[in-house]
Amino acid sequence: MRLLRIDEAAHRLGLKPSTIRKLITRGEIPAVRPTKRAVRVREEDVEALIRVGYRAAPARPDGS
């Protein structure tokens, strides 16, 4: 099991790191905490999102 940093996962998905953090908060992708401060995601979870064609929802016109 390979663990990816938030920025690595974001790069693979073509998203911003803040979007990965939101996905973790919403429970859409599980997080692993190897230390108290570090947050990682499993490579296979990121690959699964790629396989299903995950795309971030388009921004709303009101900016929220």
Is this prediction's pTM over 0.85?
A: no
| Residues 6 or more apart in contact with residue 5 via CB below 8 angstroms | 40
- pLDDT (tens digit, 9 = 90+) per residue, 27-64? 989 999 999 999 999 999 999 988 988 766 665 666 55
Instruction: Compute how many other C-beta atoms are within 10 angstroms of the C-beta atom of residue 6.
Output: 19
The dihedral sign for the CA sequence 38, 44, 50, 52: negative
Which of helix, strand or coil describes residue 47? helix
